[in-house]
């Protein structure tokens, strides 16, 4: 099994190529195309698409073009959500990954459309891919559920409400489960489905996703509370300015660090369970990915 | 064959029920649900979903629940596009169908999310419907193409650019073909597919859609240029204020009226061709619908 960094280096250009190819071929307005590609090229960790592919590799399957397409579709959904989230009416961010946000470059109207375009393109890319129809329908069901009114969009709405009043720890966990957890869960489920695993294993991958998603969010909150703008490449301390409920604000810095450790431990243990359930499964890649959420 | 008004009266509550049921059952945030339902309940002609069902009835098929679901999905896409289009950064409209626009009631951030939610929900509704998988995939391919970066979103981007400079008649036709024509074309194609028509007939329905869509847009431009706010239930004369290229601005009022008549005539003649091609086809419903675009 290759190490995570090798896997990452090998996979990133192929995920990016699928996004670029699709946008170049399927966008009928040049200005819209430029605005969409700007945010696609703004980089980022590509955490979600790498997860899809890491799961497939963990079952020792060769990653095929349609797997990259599903990974690319997921990253396009994530990218659309960042563009809309950065808008003045939402989080009003000027910087994202060290670059000007989409609406600072193209104006608000074109940024709204670039987001709408990427969201729609994600479903189109899966719909036209070379995946068997029943599997394709299942992936579109899961992605629309994760990205939409039962998942990310509902989480964003809850997050906005959290700026207007304090949330309890349970409400905060629910907002995060929808806002970031749902797409991470999709990544794990899609990887399991594309690797043709039985329902029992796909369900365990979903359980792993819960711990991974929560760890991811706590880490994100901790970074916003403790990093410099230079380190993070985006404005920091925004949560406090916006009076958002976060893990550090509700649990204190130490409490949040402890909550992060707990989720990482539960994640490790779930990987062990998957290994015991499926003889094909190698846990190294996902374990390494999990460890990257460890505080440095 | 029933008359169009009977068909309309009978169909409208069922289309609306499918949209409501889906949103009520599949939205995990109450504020988001309220904002989405607000625009769904704002009414409108329901032109696009009625087209889907009118095609199915024109082939003497019984309209089934999954047909209403596809019609509802299409209307949700149309409704999302109106919410985003009305935003201050886009057309900045305060009134829509005589009611305050979504962002005037819920604020811009929630209006953006209500639009994102409806767009995603449309794909989810088709993906979970009781349609055979291959047909479902085909419908999602066509809808994402019509609504996205090859269709409506590209048209919106072109429309914005049209506010910044004058468009030629060809450029204007291209913008409209994408902005409004593509969803109308989807309605006709989806109706033909759901009525299980052969490709030859579906293609002719697509040709009819071209004329219908163009007629629809010219009529819309003419109404904006010549009606009062009271008659139309929304702000009028916006095209002129925004310095938009329109059919009346490029062809004059008389030229635009003549262009409308030409498209209606070509539409009628295409319906005759479909009747000659398919013995199952009754042209009355679609013809009546076309005649409603006649200037009063």
Q: What are the pLDDT digits (tens) for B263-274? A: 999 999 999 999
Structural domain contains residue B296: no
By Cβ distance, the residue of A27, A84, A123 closest to B144 is A123
Q: Which of A69, A83, A60 is nearest to A2 (CA)?
A: A60
What is the torsional sign of CA A26, A31, A34, A36? Answer: negative
d(CA B92, CA B101) in angstroms, rounded, equals 9
Structural domain contains residue B15: yes
What is the torsional sign of CA A274, A277, A282, A284? Answer: positive
Q: Which residues of A touch B37 (CB under 8 A)?
A: none
Q: Which residues of A touch B117 (CB under 8 A)?
A: 148-149, 153-154
More confident residue, B288 or B240: B288
Q: How close does chain B come to A154, measured CA to CA in Å?
A: 5
How high is the pLDDT of residue A165?
77
CB spacing of B127 vs A144 below 8 angstroms = yes
Domain that holds residue B43: 4-291
By Cβ distance, the residue of B124, B144, B178 closest to A120 is B144
Return the CATH number at A207: 1.10.600.10
Structural domain contains residue B27: yes
Structural domain contains residue A190: yes
How high is the pLDDT of residue B24?
98
pLDDT-derived band at B226, boundaries 50, 70, 90: confident
CA distances B163 to A109, B156, B246, B268, Å, are 12, 11, 10, 33
How high is the pLDDT of residue B236?
64
Q: What are the pLDDT digits (tens) for B231-271? A: 666 666 666 666 677 899 899 999 999 999 999 999 999 99
CB spacing of A153 vs B107 below 8 angstroms = no
Instruction: Assess whether pLDDT exceeds 60 at residue B59.
Output: yes
Structural domain contains residue A296: no
Structural domain contains residue A158: yes
* Residue A245 token pair: 């409920």
Structural domain contains residue B9: yes
Domain count, chain A: 1
pLDDT-derived band at B165, boundaries 50, 70, 90: confident
More confident residue, A239 or B21: B21
Sort B260 into a burial class: Cβ within 10 Å, 0-12 / 13-18 / 19+.
buried
Q: Does B37 touch chain A (CB under 8 A)?
A: no
Interface test with A, best of B20, B34, B89, B186 (most A CBs within 10 A): B89
Instruction: Assess whether pLDDT exceeds 60 at residue A54.
Output: yes
Percentage of chain A surpassing pLDDT 70?
94
CA distances B220 to B83, B126, B293, Å, are 18, 29, 9
Structural domain contains residue A255: yes
How high is the pLDDT of residue B98?
87
More confident residue, A23 or B292: A23
Q: How close does chain B come to A143, measured CA to CA in Å?
A: 8
């Amino acid at each position: 099994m290759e190490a995570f960094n090798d896997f990452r280096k090998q996979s990133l250009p192929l995920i990016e190529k699928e996004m670029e190819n699709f946008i170049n071929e399927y966008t009928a307005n040049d200005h819209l195309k430029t605005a969409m590609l700007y945010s696609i090229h703004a980089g980022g960790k590509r955490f979600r698409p790498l997860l899809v592919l890491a799961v497939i590799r963990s079952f020792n399957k060769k990653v095929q073009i349609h797997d990259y397409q599903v990974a690319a579709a997921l990253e396009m959904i994530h990218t659309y959500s960042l563009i809309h989230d950065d808008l003045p009416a939402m989080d009003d961010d000027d910087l994202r990954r060290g670059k000007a946000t989409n609406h600072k470059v193209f104006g608000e109207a074109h940024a709204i459309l670039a987001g709408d375009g990427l969201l729609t393109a994600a479903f189109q890319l899966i719909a036209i891919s070379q995946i068997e129809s029943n599997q394709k329908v299942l992936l579109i069901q899961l992605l629309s559920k994760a990205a939409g009114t039962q998942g990310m969009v509902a989480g964003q709405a809850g997050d906005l409400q959290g700026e207007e009043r304090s949330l309890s720890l349970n409400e905060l966990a629910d907002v995060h489960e929808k806002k970031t957890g749902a797409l991470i869960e999709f990544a794990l489920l899609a990887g399991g489905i594309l690797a043709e695993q039985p329902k029992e294993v796909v369900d365990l991958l979903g359980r792993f996703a819960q711990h991974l998603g929560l760890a991811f969010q706590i880490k994100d909150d901790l970074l916003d509370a403790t990093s410099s703008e230079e380190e993070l490449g985006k404005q920091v301390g925004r949560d406090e300015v916006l009076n958002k409920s976060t893990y550090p604000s509700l649990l204190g810095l130490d409490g949040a660090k402890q909550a992060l450790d707990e989720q990482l431990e539960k994640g490790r243990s779930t990987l062990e369970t998957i290994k015991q359930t499926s003889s094909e499964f190698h846990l190294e890649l996902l374990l390494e990915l999990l460890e990257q959420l460890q505080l440095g």
